[in-house]
Amino acid sequence: MSAWFVIVLLVVGVVVFSLEKLSVDIVTLLLLLALIFAGILTPEQAFAGFSNDIIIMLASIFVISTALRDTGVLDLTCGLLMKGMGTSLRSVLAALMSGVSIISAFMNNTTVTSMFVGPVVAMSRQLRLPASLLLMPLAFASIMGGTCTLIGTSTNVAVSGYMEKAGLGTIGMFDITPIGLILVAVGTIYMLIVGIRLLPKRRGDEKDSLSIRKYLAEVVILKDSPLIGQEIHRSDFSVLGFQVLKVGRRGTDLYATPHERLEEGDTVLVAGKVEDLIKIKTIEGLDIQEDLNLRAMGVAAEDTQIVEVVLTPRSTLVGTSLRRSQFRQRTGLSVLAIHRGADALMRQLGDVILEAGDVLLVQGPYQRIRDYEQESEMVIVSQHDHGVKGKRPGVIVLAAFVVAVIVGSTGLLPVSVAMLAVAVMAVLIKAIDLETAYENIDWRLLILIGGMTAFGQAMTQTGASDMLAAGITGLLSPLGSYALLAGFCVLTVLLTQPMSNAAAALVVLPVALQAAELQHLSPLTFGIAVMLSASMSMLTPFEPSCILVYGPGKYRFRDFLTVGGGLTLLLTILIILLVPLFWPFHVS
- Report the distance separating Cα 342 and Cα 194, nearest Å: 26
- What residues form DSSP beta bridges with 574? none
- What residues form DSSP beta bridges with 360? 309, 338
Nearest CA to 334 among 287, 375, 376?
287
Q: What's the pLDDT tens digit per position in 202-216?
A: 764 444 433 445 677
Query: Mean pLDDT over residues 196-201, rounded?
Result: 93
Nearest CA to 364 among 315, 317, 310, 295?
295
Over 90: is that where the pLDDT of 427 sits? Answer: yes
Contact between 505 and 491 (Cβ < 8 Å): no
pLDDT number for residue 374? 64
- Report the distance separating Cα 94 and Cα 135, nearest Å: 13
Nearest CA to 417 among 116, 53, 74?
53
Q: How would you class 259 by CB atoms within 10 Å of its CB: exposed for 0-12, middle for 13-18, buried for 19 or more?
A: exposed
Contact between 418 and 407 (Cβ < 8 Å): yes
Q: What is the DSSP string of 556-568?
A: -HHHHHHHHHHHH
Q: How far is CA 244 from CA 110, 205, 239, 256, 449, in A?
A: 32, 21, 12, 6, 48
Q: How far is CA 517 from CA 506, 512, 523, in A?
A: 17, 9, 6
Q: What's the pLDDT tens digit per position in 301-358?
A: 556 778 888 887 778 888 899 889 988 888 878 888 887 765 545 567 788 889 887 8
- Based on DSSP, count helices (H) and strands (E) in the chain, helices before strands: 27, 9
SS3 151: coil
- Report the distance separating Cα 431 and Cα 119, nearest Å: 24
Four-CA torsion 55, 60, 66, 68, nearest 10 degrees: -140
Over 90: is that where the pLDDT of 103 sits? Answer: yes
Phi-psi region of 452 (alpha: psi -120 to 50; beta: other; left: phi over 0): alpha
SS3 21: coil
Nearest CA to 217 among 246, 191, 196?
246
Query: Mean pLDDT over residues 27-55, rounded?
Result: 91
Q: What's the pLDDT tens digit per position in 121-153?
A: 778 877 888 889 999 999 999 999 999 999 999
